[in-house]
Amino acid sequence: MIISDTVDYDIHRVENSILEESSDCIAIEEPLEIAIRYFKDGEWIVDPLMVTMRTPGDDNALVSGLLFSEGIIQDKDAIDTIDVKGENKGKYDVDNSLIVTLAKGNQLDLKNLQRHFMVNSSCGVCGKGTLNAIEIAYEPNIDKAGPIVNIDLITELPDILRARQEQFANTGGVHASALLTESGKVLHLAEDVGRHNALDKLIGHVRCNDMLKPLEQFVMCSGRLGFDIIQKAVMSRIGMIVGIGAPTSLALDLAKKFDITLIGFIKKNKYNIYTGAWRIS
């Protein structure tokens, strides 16, 4: 059982040129090993899927979100169970190995995933072994009709997000992804040391609980908007992504290709709409 996602460390703090003993609240980072179990040719097969660094907590949502984002599943019913796999306790008595059992009838082809090794917690694409593995597994249609968000709401979003970031308030060391309504109401928020993990946790939770309504909602992320963030949005047909940080060129190319509204560099009184300005009224 996870007691906490943070740990207190003894440190020294300097203020006004005075060095003092103190303590600091630090976000826990632990590896999570994920294996996948599926039925093929009359027998159950277990294959390693990946290892990722993450903040413990919401692990089932993280795993579910990963499977959605990688195109391994398209529906929550494709997952039969998510169980602890063996004894792999971390330093903080956290279960660090999970096995996902897919319902019978769900086929799996791991050849194109190329993810049988460590993925850095800051980048969801780092574990991709080849350029081909970065390609979208399938191309969903994203409806351009919504959401429609008021032009003045965007500059308020950093404060709205920060007010709900409990782990960030304690540690200053985690990212967040949130699902919001067109009016700016936060429906769910997930935090993790990894940008992509936070979004996977969010997607896993909202899709497994039938909360996602892309025509009426959008997603906000606390960090940089890279290709991996937009890819995950595409796979869940999310039409609008807002971030406090900057996007990359590859993220912009992908957002433009799939008619995603991408907004970044939000300041007190300004922001950039990189693609899909029609969703801002």
| Per-residue confidence in pLDDT tens, the chain, 281 aa | 444 678 787 777 777 777 788 887 877 878 889 999 999 889 999 988 888 888 888 999 999 999 998 888 889 999 999 999 877 676 777 888 999 999 988 777 665 554 444 444 555 555 454 334 445 555 678 999 999 999 999 999 999 999 998 887 677 778 999 999 999 999 999 999 888 899 999 999 999 999 999 999 999 999 888 888 998 999 999 999 999 888 888 788 888 889 999 998 888 888 999 999 999 98
Phi, psi of 91 (to 5 degrees): -60, -30
**Which residues in 98-136 are b (16+ Cβ under 10 Å) and which e?**
bbbbbeeebebebeebbbeeebebbbbbebbeeeebeee
Residues 117 and 191 in one domain: no
pLDDT at position 137: 54
Question: Which tokens is 116 given?
Answer: 């049988």
Residues 194 and 158 in one domain: yes
The domain of 114 spans 30-134
β-strands 175-181, 217-221 pairing: antiparallel
201-213 confidence digits (pLDDT tens): 999 999 999 999 9
Residues 71 and 165 in one domain: no
Residues 130 and 158 in one domain: no
pLDDT at position 31: 84
Name the domain boundary from 105, 134, 163: 134
123 is catalytic: yes
116-129 confidence digits (pLDDT tens): 444 445 555 554 54
Name the domain boundary from 134, 165, 191: 134
SS3 (DSSP) at 277:
helix
The CATH number of the domain where 251 resides is what?
A: 3.40.140.10
Residues 118 and 198 in one domain: no
- What is the C-alpha to C-alpha distance for residues 244 and 221, in angstroms, rounded to an integer? 7
pLDDT at position 95: 86
* Structural domain total, the chain: 2
Residues 203 and 170 in one domain: yes
Residues 167 and 128 in one domain: no
Q: Where are the beta strands (DSSP E) in 193-260?
A: 217-221, 240-243
